[in-house]
Structure 1
Amino acid sequence: MSTLMATEISAQIKPIDQTFVRLAKTEGQLLEIFKDIESRTDYRFVYPAEIIEDKSQITVKTRRQSVNDILVDVGTAANLRFKQVDNAIYVAKLEKAVDEGKIEISIEMAAISGKVTDENGEPIPGATILIEGKNTGTATDIDGRYQIDVSEGDVLVFSFIGYNSQRIVVGNQQTIDIVLLEDTSSLDEVVVIGYGTQKKVNLTGAVSTINVGKEAETRPITSLSAGLSGLAAGLHVNQGSGRPGNDGATLRIRGQGTLNNANPLVIIDGAIGNMNHLNPQDVESISVLKDAASAAIYGSRAANGVILITTKQGSSGEFKVNYNTFFSSAQPSNVVETVSNYANYMELINEGFSNSDPNANPIFSQEKINEWRNNEGGDPLKYPNTQWVDEVFQKNIVQNHNLSFSGGSETIKFFGSFGYLDNPGIIERSGYERYTARINLEAELKPWLTLGTQLNGVVANTDIGTNQINSVFTYAGASTPGMILRSPDGRYGGPNNPEDDPQSNNVLHNLNSQMGDIKHNKLSSRFYGKLRPIKGLSVEGSFNYTLDDYMEYAQPVFNNRWDFYTNTISRNAVGRTSVRYENTKDYNYFMDGLVRYDGEAAGKLTYNLMAGASQEYYKNAWFQASKFDLIDPALSVLDAATLDAAANGNASDWSMRSFFGRMNLGWDDKYLFEANIRRDGTSRFAKGSRRWGVFPSFSAGWRISEEDFFNASWLPNLKVRASYGSLGNNAVGNYEYQAVYDAANYVLNNSLYVGFAQTALSNAALTWESTYISNIGLDFDLFDFKFGGSIEAFDKVTKNILIDLPAPLVVGNASIPKQNAAEVQNRGIELNLNYRDQVGEFEYRIGGNFTFVDNRVTRYKGDERTISGSNLIQEGYAINTQYILKTNRLIQTQADLDLVSQMIADAPIDPSTGNQRNPFAAYGTPTLGDFLYEDTNADGLINDEDRVAVGHGTAPRVSYGINLGFNWKGFDFSALLQGTSGLQSIWNDLYHTTGVRWGYQVNQEIAEERWYEGRTDATYPRLLNYVDTRNLRASDFWLQNKAYMRLKNVQLGYTIPREVTQRFKIETFRVYGSLENYLTFTQYKGFDPEVSGTQYPTLKQALLGLNISF
């Protein structure tokens, strides 16, 4: 009997089906074959003497194969059976001949038993014992005991949630007792922080980590930012578009803390970058720095939080190759249905115009309405009833491939990858193709010297039609169902009805009105070195260079539009040929250097000191050139055009220099303290004290669970932490503090001259926006680390926000400079919980995160307010609070009309005239089918003064994510739910309006639920001419709740057992199916609650994928 705590014991004898040899000869006698096998293995044959008396020649294969397969051939030819026991192979004669492949070859199975306990000797019931590479296993009983049949050489894997797994190779034991050690990996986990790493257990700041490597390999993530949704507390992800190549999301960390640029700082392997230019499969992990303690090391760039991205690195060991691929089919997550029956459509247009002006002539004649209705089943080319959704959206297959390799030795480590994405889009001419390549290399040239490089390249090609994509939904809404968008023979249509608007849009015609291409290439490079002259001291430096090159070429394409009713051209394809080129280049140079020193003192004190400096420079250069009248439209260069050449361009740059430092102290692994400081200077502010900003932070932690008085074994980890500090925001224009001049024409002595005129006044007093963050948190793990999480509370105040203030006296056309005058506060809580356990071979997990943010503008323009559409910015309210009318009722009965009459009778007297005022003068007197708005200020009048602040802005107050999954016998399942609540916005655009317009679509739901004469149960008001806006005012009727819960991802995978895949030299072979964004639960009626207005919708996808490693 043996008690084992090692993670692996060397194998003694492998089974014959796992031992491979190549025999010397293709023919031989039995004894020769046995000796050949014995010379190449540790096996010994045991047989009766009479067996080898047979001198017949037996044919065998000389290719490399298992001993088991060789013996099958030998047994078939010589009528023998075999049995392996340890290293002995027993041979016996069969009584009668059998068919090939039915030779009896057995491997002796032995019953192994034992007991699984913890370090204290307590039994662990329910622990799993699996034979590695096989779907065979068992579990311990209530006393921790088990029994399992194994073969010598099998590898047993002992595991239980909360403990480290152990692998034991079976030899000749009969009993194996195992002591499982407690899994403290969650405490030993290393988290990437600014300019370094730190054990998670020692963190005193607010940091969330995301295992992107696993997510990207199993989900159809083509945009890294969009793939983060629902994965971290405090991080809100809003994917405002599903457009290929431009499906990146807007990220907010703990709410919107400024009235200006609120995007977080993104750091990729130590250098500032754009995460949407990364291949998601190249990313290993992401750290989200949310408070001042964790982010202050980045100073003026970190007011909106920091996202640290670490790409995959090489490791010492065997050369490994991984191939991941998926194919997916996508469709819009939701569509807005419009009226497609053209006869009904014509009647609705007539109804709306008649409601606004009963004396007006109808837009469409009854003759045409009847003609269309009588021919609904007739010629579809002549009498179309077009639903634009069916014509515009298409089914395509997205494919993504990623090949990576890694490996190295103790001194050199490397990782490389190549990725390819082809996304044709769900709308034609929106295709996107991307190639990515990466190489990460690190070499330890000396024990004291390490050098490395990280290179990343992206080549992206986008269809020129994407320039029209953002207007697709506008053009589709400004269209009519009485039009064929494109005939089967490829011709584009116009309205078939001469009474319809001849200018009505054909969205497919518009999409194909250009030819050309868009090329977007990016190169990112980082070179670094580390010196370790003495123990504990390191000196590091790096240089980064990034080039972002965007090139666009476009030519107009002229296509006729047809009237298929008469089969004639309704609009000739005429226009001037031209060619246009546009190029933008962004250059980024960044270098930094730092010194670290780690040490211990007094036996219990640990310290880490770091100081550094950095310098960065950014430059943007842009130009555009065009020319008209090409000699031949097939020629696409500027010199092929002859007239009206035009060119313009510009360039801008800015730079920043920084000094920073950090001190970490720990006493007895219980008491933790950290201080950070950074001093930044930027060219975006005037020279002097306002150019420089200083941003300090302090944090402390107490590991209560390490105290001697704390003896709650069920709570192995408990830590409380707190932090306070300041951060900056320099996300302002490059020349905001300077007077700006621009070229302008002027006349002097009757001649036209070109000069420069001042277009913006200067303000040398501009300085940093400053954010002050207080944070308190509690981290905990319970029940042998099965259940854990954290709770955070924060208060985030941003001061000196740049806004436009009114000037007392301005003469001229120059714009007024911004001033540091506003203040915004965000307060909130975060909760993160995770639980994992197992029942026998069934392992399961569930986790979730929750964030609540309360946003307020605490200082703005005093009593002044800024209103943009229905959005309000005013002190005391959330950013973009809805400022709208309240609807009293939809007037549908005589009682409703009587109320209107009473309001007219009770109207106040105008003191300037002595006459009674008209309470409805602002919007018009409502009648049947109209809204009656609330007189919220009780002045007897209905006007803009009755608008009130409603809701909490257009950003969510609550965001959350829920993940769950299980693993069982090679199957894996996972699901991710994600959602938000507490946000509302007005939806009253051309897809959702009761204002009808000649040549524009009509919403199907509104058509069915509108008020019309005689109806008293309508949901929507009556249809009116779109210029009659009495019912279209921003009101709570049009206010949509954009809260949603989305099944972000659900997938089921299966990993083929290794005993099968290893025969083909494959380490891992996993297939999976997945659904992305497939179910959304929301009251919002638009395209998608994440998408604003008429943008490219987000997509729901179904896919099949494959992961292979060698």
Structure 2
Amino acid sequence: MKIYTFFKCEQPNSTLNKFLLVTKLILFFLASTILKVNASSYERKINLNRANEPLGEIIKKQPTAIAKARDIFAEIDLRGKVVDGKGESMPGVSVKIKNKTKGVVTDVNGNFQMKAETGDVLVFSFVGFKTAEYVVVSGKNDIRIAMVEDQANLDEVVVVAYGTQKKATVTGAIASIQTKEIKQSPAANLAVTLAGRLPGLTAIQRSGEPGADVTNLYIRGQGTTNAQSPIILVDGVERDLTYIDPNEIESVTILKDASSTAIFGVRGANGVILVATKRGTSEVPEINFTSESSAQSFTRLITPVNSYEFATTRNLAQANDGLSQTYSASDIEHYRTQDDPLRYPDTDWRDILTKKYSLQQRYNLNVSGASKAVKYFVNVGQLSQGSQFKNEDNLPYDPSYNLKRYNFRSNIDIQLNKTLKAYLNIAGTLEKQNGPYYTPGSSQSSFFVIAYMAAQGATTPGPLTPDGKVLTNTILAGAPPYGLLNRFGYQRLNRTNITASYGMDQSLDFLTKGLSVKAQASFDTRSGNLLYASKGFERYIMVIDPVTQDVSYKLANSIQESPLSLSGVNSYSTLANLQGFLNYNRTFNKHAVTGLILFQQQSNIIDVQLPFNLLGVASRLTYGFDNKYFAEFNAGYNGSEQFAKGNRYGFFPAVSGAWLVSNEKFLKNNKVITNLKVRGSYGEVGNDRLSGARFQYLDNISIGSGGYSSSLGNGQRINIATLGNPNLQWEVAKKANVGLELGIFNSFNLVVDVFKERRDNILRNQGTVPVLNGLSLGVLPKLNFGVVENKGYEIELNFKKAYSKNLSLLAKLNFNHARNKQLFADEAILPADYAYRYRETGYQIGTPFGYIVDRYFTDLTDIANSPKQSVGGHESRPGDFKYKDLNNDGLVNARDYAPIGNSNIPENQFGGAFNLTYKNFDLSALMQGVSNVFQYFNQPYGTWEGFNYVKRHTESWTAERAASGEKINYPRITTQGSPNNIPNTFFIVDASYIRLKNVEIGYSLPTNLSRKIGSKGIRIYANGLNLFTWDKLPTKDFDPEVGSSRDNLAYPMLRMYNFGVNVKF
């Protein structure tokens, strides 16, 4: 059949008309061919002479075959369902039309609906499954697609240093989690969400204070006595993890061994955390809105005794000291019955100062999408966190603890032409942290309020006089907690953080296939403004007339009311980072080769300090043969301004290899062992973050005032603070790692890693040099001679199974053990009569030393017949601790000091998580715990006049209690010093715990209901943080994780109950 077409267009030069005409003519020709029209029936010329008439209308009036062509290429309402190999529904599968922008995502039941044309190719993709394609056929409107799971997800792409790799080709020790797990926690600090989820990572939260909820991160424990925290890279640049909105995160990856961190050279010894933020992927624009509201409370808080218990315990303490007692029997009875609460109050300071619950709210909106030329992800978020402390409502200022944070992120990718790509990442954070005023320079703003709240006894009336003045007692006259919290003023910290990165990636395939070059420039700026607004306030004490019993109030001291006095501190920092990459990635038959050469220059300026600089090159070379055998070489050559010229650069190489046994013929397609890989690595990495001052290769000498005999002139002399070490260098970590990955039945996945590290060149003070020329050991230069060994293992076990069409389970368990030992510390050995002659050498970093408690002394005879207790500067009395005489010299003193626990950094950490899905419901939980960790928990406040007691003080030793066999939870109570309040095995306690860290339950509305309001999906959920804790502490006044900071009086940890809704458009 021959078809001749002639069209006369009213606008013949119109590009659009030309394009439409040509397109429809092509379709016209193809349609005729597809229909296989009988050529003899239509072997004739058709003349068309039409003006201003749609081509479709023209075709309608033509012979039948041509009209059918129009019907063939009309859009079809296509419906379908996507299932896995077992026939189970697959939600979240991306369905796109190849070479077009159209696309949808399957709903919770695996269903999708879209318009397509005959001949279109649908592409189905989902992480962990092989991509599937389907060609649209006319007349078939309802389809079913079965996707095939990748063997052990080996085609999954994981983030590595400055790039990505297929999971199958990874030879190093890495671990990662995705955004879904991160968002299951309502914590305001992103670092908190990582606890228990990644094998090898220890996350310890030391405070719950809004905006100051510090979380310490360690990878594989402690390897040095200097800075131990890993470096954190957000999209390839060193940045802060704390303030990132969880909705911005795509994945978090930790790099643990030398193979994965050697490329970072002088800064990689403590491990690396890589944060990848989201980017546009789907060709269908998607809008996500999330709203959350949380009720938060303290996990634990000190519970002081009531006034009756306080009075009786105080009298007991004074009796033990041989002193007259403050409270008469009549007083105590009044406190017990509370028949005269004005004169004999029972003040619950915890109830007065704290709330049971406070509010946290979080809102997030993000938009993402992609076209052939542009991909985009834009996110805005807002967080508002309230305080657990009560504040007065009508103050002219806001002294409450609260946090407001605003986040913005925009990630744009542009395909400029076939070979050139560009991207621009911009992010910003504005944060306002508020709290009551405290003395500038103090390390913890919340400590004072918490401490004095715990210390102020229930017999102190308060909080205010009848006319609204602050009440206190004579001991706490300078720091009544109610006044500190409300009348002392406020402080406000405004922080602004802006980060920007621009990069271009040019393919050089025209030179050789697989070659490309990339450049990136980043600039970050951070500013802070801390406003102090302080004021004076009057403190009053209550006075009772001993004759008339009349109550009056008098000033406790000379401090008067004063207006707010303002002062402030500003800070500013910038970071400039330049990176240049030369990349190579090519496969030759069975040979796969990749290469990377990286140049990096970074300068970080903090306030008016000299810049912190980094300059160097790094490289990576990988080789794979037949997808079975893999080898990798990484190296970093870089330097730091911390060291003297000529001694600033170091070379840090690492090699690794892996054997993917499951791809061998004897295991290929094995139904039991679906994945088996062994790998190993060895290399050297550095650490230039040294404790103490910068530029320690220089002498620290100053000129000050002095006497004539030692002066440069009259009234001047040289002060030597420290001598420099011109040979100062970085630490060197030599790391070895062996790993095994095993997959069984395509459901169980086991990963085991065993590691050993030797850290040399640790900078330490000299301890064995005699004092020379009047110089103390502290003046002598630090030297690179410390040695620490750190070794351990990690186990991760995952299970994934779909039990039925509507039921699936994902479970994860991980355990990591890391134990260090100080091999050399230049420590002077103690005399032979010491029970333990070293305090550091041979022990863990941070091992506590103290006395070992044997029992309580029963009476004076017992004391006389026991080794003399020469400790704490006080004589022993009945009820005091009897310490062990370890060297058997008949005297207990410093020679009997012994290791009495482990470090306050856990030796073991474990986590267990699961996610259960049933129809539209989902349930997930995370258990997290630590062991072999010790903390110092002491509560000395009751030993000071006017200060409070807690429950365990009321269970202290007495002769009567000891004789009756009652449980004794505290030594002899006293108002004076004693040999008890020193480091010993009673106060150094095992702080191991297991915590129900997170629980989340959610429900996704059926698709048909969501679509009625124009939504692609709606999910309602509730989750919680720090819900239950089981531990070994002798008291439940403290949370075991917060630690021993000032007797554990930092802002307590928070428990949160959160409700949220997520809507997609």
TM-score of the two chains, using structure 1 as the length reference:
0.77
Whichever residue aligns with residue 617 of structure 2, its letter is: F
Q: Is 1:352–1:1022's contact at 8 Å kept on the other side of the alignment?
A: no
User: For each residue in 1:323-342, what CA deviation from the matched residue of structure 2 results, as whole angstroms up to 9, or x when unmatched?
Assistant: 1121111111112221122x
What is the deviation of 1:728?
0.4
Structure 1 residue matching 2:525: 3-state secondary structure:
strand
Does 2:1062 correspond to 1:1104? no
**Matched residue of 2:436: which SS?**
helix
Does 2:461 correspond to 1:480?
no
Alignment partner of 1:276: what SS? Answer: coil
What are the equivalent positions in structure 2 for 1:623-1022 lying under 5 Å apart?
651-688=609-646, 690-711=647-668, 712-732=670-690, 733-741=693-701, 744-745=704-705, 757-783=719-745, 785-806=746-767, 807-808=769-770, 809-811=772-774, 815-840=779-804, 841-864=806-829, 873-892=839-858, 899-903=862-866, 926-990=876-940, 996-1013=943-960, 1015-1016=962-963, 1017=965, 1018-1022=967-971
Report the equivalent of 1:34: none
CA distance in 2, matches of 1:115, 1:446: 35
2:414 aligned partner: 443
The residue correspondences of 1:137-156 to structure 2 (distance < 5 A) are: none
Secondary structure class of the residue paired with 1:246:
coil
| Cα separation, 1, equivalents of 2:784 and 2:988 | 33
User: Of residues 373, 384, 402 in structure 1, which corresponds to 2:364?
Assistant: 402
2:176 matched residue in structure 1: 209
d(CA) in 1 for partners of 2:612, 2:144: 67
Pairing 1:590–2:590 present: no
Does the CA contact (< 8 Å) of 1:503 and 1:999 recur in 2?
A: no
Mapped to 2, the partners of 1:672 and 1:290 lie a distance apart of 19
Q: Deviations over 1:177-209 (max 9, x none)?
A: 876523347211111111110011110000001
Q: CA deviation at 1:579?
A: 2.9
- Give the Å deviation of 1:600: 2.8
The alignment partner of 1:317 has SS state of: coil
Please list, as runs of the form range in 1=range in 2, the aligned pairs for 1:333-348 lying within 5 A after superposition: 333-341=299-307, 343-348=308-313
Is 1:361 paired with 2:324? Answer: yes
Q: Deviations over 1:1046-1076 (max 9, x none)?
A: 0001111101011111111111111111121
Deviation at 1:236, TM superposition (A): 0.6
- 1:795 and 1:857 map into 2 onto residues whose CA distance is 14
User: Counterpart of 1:1051?
Assistant: 1000
The CA distance in 2 between the partners of 1:410 and 1:284, in whole Å, is: 22
Structure 1 segment 458-497 matched on structure 2, within 5 A:
458-465=429-436, 467=438, 468-487=445-464, 491-495=468-472
* CA displacement 1:433-462 (0-9 Å, x = unmatched): 111111111111111211211111111111
Asked if the contact 2:874–2:979 (Cα under 8 Å) also holds between the matched residues in 1, the reply is yes
Mapped contact 2:151–2:674 kept (Cα < 8 A):
no
Residues 739, 292 of structure 1: CA spacing in aligned structure 2 closer, same or farther, 3 A cutoff? same
2:921–2:1003 Cα contact (<8 Å) kept: yes
What amino acid is aligned across from residue 657 of structure 2 in structure 1?
A: A
Mark the runs of 5 or more structure 1 residues left unpaired by the alignment: 1-38, 40-86, 88-109, 119-123, 134-147, 622-649, 905-917
Shift in CA distance, 879/246, structure 1 to aligned 2, threshold 3 Å: same
Shift of 1:959: 0.3
User: Relative to 1, partners in 2 of residues 1:850 and 1:818: Cα closer, same or farther, differing over 3 Å?
Assistant: same
Query: d(CA) in 2 for partners of 1:1060 and 1:502?
Result: 62
Q: Does 1:181 align with 2:181?
A: no
Using a 3 Å threshold, how does the CA distance of structure 1 residues 1012 and 1020 change in structure 2: closer, same or farther? farther
Q: Deviations over 1:520-539 (max 9, x none)?
A: 11111111111112231111
* Counterpart contact for 1:872–1:882, Cα < 8 Å: no
TM-score using structure 2 length? 0.80
Match of residue 208 from structure 2: 242
Superposed CA RMSD: 3.6
Is residue 2:540 matched to residue 1:579? no
- Structure 1 counterpart of 2:229: 263
How many Å apart are 1:488 and its aligned residue?
Answer: 9.3
Map of 2:12 onto structure 1 = none
Which segment is superposed worse, 785-794 or 930-939?
930-939
Aligned to 2:397: none
Please give the secondary structure, in 2, of the residue aligned with 1:1074.
strand
Query: Which residue number corresponds to residue 614 of structure 1?
Result: 600
CA contact (8 A) 1:1051 1:1072 kept: yes
Query: 1: distance between equivalents of 2:143 and 2:405?
Result: 54
* 1:313 pairs with 2:275: no
Percent identity over the alignment? 27
Contact 1:316 1:410 (8 Å CA) reproduced? no
1:387 Cα deviation from its structure 2 partner: 2.8
CA distance in 1, matches of 2:221, 2:951: 36
Sort the Cα spacing of 1:739 and 1:313 in 2 relative to 1 into closer, same or farther, 3 A.
same
Matches within 5 A, 1:112-131: 124=86, 127-128=87-88
Equivalent residue in structure 2 for 1:563, among 537, 541, 556: 541
Say whether the 8 Å CA contact 1:283–1:312 is kept in structure 2.
Answer: yes
| Alpha-carbon shift at residue 740 of structure 1 (Å) | 2.7
Q: Distance in 2 between matches of 1:1081 and 1:459?
A: 37
Q: Counterpart in 1 of 2:990?
A: 1041
1:881 match: secondary structure: coil
In the alignment, which of 1040, 1048, 1056 is matched to residue 1089 of structure 1? 1040
Residue identity in the other structure for 1:620: I
Query: How far apart are residue 398 of structure 1 and its match?
Result: 0.6
Cα pair 1:244 1:432 within 8 Å, conserved: yes
SS in structure 2 at match of 1:262: coil
Deviation string 1:1059-1110 (CA, Å, 9 cap, x unpaired) is 1111111111111111210100111234211112211111111111111111
**Aligned-pair distance for 1:163?**
6.8
Contact 2:182 2:194 survives alignment (8 Å): no
Residues 519-528 or 925-934, more deviating: 925-934
**Residue 372 of structure 1: CA displacement?**
4.2
CA–CA separation in structure 1 for the residues paired with 2:372 and 2:114: 30
Residues 1:457 and 1:812: Cα distance change in structure 2 (over 3 Å): same
Partner of 2:490: 515
Question: How far 1:695 moved relative to its partner?
Answer: 0.5
Assess if the C-alpha contact under 8 Å between 1:431 and 1:462 holds in 2.
yes
Q: CA deviation at 1:1033?
A: 2.8
Deviations 1:837-864 (A, max 9, x none): 1222111121111101121111112444
TM-fit CA distance, 1:420: 0.7
Q: What count of residue pairs does the alignment treat as equivalent?
A: 918
Secondary structure of the structure 2 residue equivalent to 1:716: strand
Q: Deviations over 1:615-674 (max 9, x none)?
A: 1112111xxxxxxxxxxxxxxxxxxxxxxxxxxxx6333212111111000011011000
Contact (CA 8 Å) 1:478, 1:504: kept in 2 or not?
no
Report the Cα distance in structure 1 between the residues aligned to 2:1042 and 2:981, rounded to whole angstroms: 21
| Aligned residue type for 1:975 | A
Instruction: Provide the C-alpha distance between the structure 2 equivalents of 1:963 and 1:923, rounded to a whole number of angstroms.
Output: 51
CA drift at 1:271: 0.5
Secondary structure of 1:945 counterpart: helix
The amino acid of 2:155's aligned partner reads D
Per-residue deviation, 1:1004: 1.4
Q: Give the Cα separation in 1 of the matches to 2:387 and 2:702.
A: 41
| Structure 2 unaligned spans of 5+ | 1-55, 57-73, 94-108, 117-121, 391-399, 439-444, 544-550
3-state DSSP of counterpart to 1:318: coil
Pick from 332, 354, 357 the counterpart of residue 393 of structure 1.
354
Change in Cα spacing, 1:545 to 1:744, as seen in structure 2 (3 Å) is: farther
- The corresponding residue for 1:299 is 265
